[in-house]
Amino acid sequence: MSEQFNSFTSPIEKEVVEQIEQLNLSTIQKLHLKLLSHCLGIFRVISTQSKVDFPTEKLLRDWCVKESQKLEDKEFSKLLYKQMDAAGQKILDYSQKIEKRPLELTLEDLIKLTSAEA
């Protein structure tokens, strides 16, 4: 099973992960920040490939199905979609709050979002 996970790549750079690790945040906040950063990167990839401002429900579901096929686990697709959708909603809500386009959010924006939830 662990070899299957090696087929996944992250859209966030190692330097961003290292920068997050240096922040004065709790472990759970750092993990949340890494997950939001990862999801935002995925949303950027999907949006760029599909030429949309933000992934639609269908685009996100299709992406989740495709990714879950790497694990040969149909149920994983549903869980992955649920989690990605929740992250997407959080990003959309926050971007509206600060009047910024969702895919233009920066690490600093995500840090503010994560810190505000503490």
Q: CA 88, CA 82: separation in Å to the nearest integer?
A: 10
pLDDT tens series, the chain, 118 aa: 444 444 456 777 888 889 999 999 999 999 999 999 999 999 999 999 999 999 999 999 999 999 888 887 778 999 999 999 999 999 999 999 999 999 999 999 999 988 877 6
How many domains does the chain contain in total?
1
pLDDT of residue 5: 42
Q: What is the DSSP letter of 102?
A: G
Residue from 11, 95, 114 nearest 53 by CA: 95
C-alpha 17, offset from chain centre: 13
pLDDT of residue 9: 62
Cα separation values, 60 from 65, 77, 118, Å: 9, 10, 28
Overall residue count recorded for the chain in this entry: 118
pLDDT of residue 70: 84
Q: Which domain holds residue 46?
A: 2-116
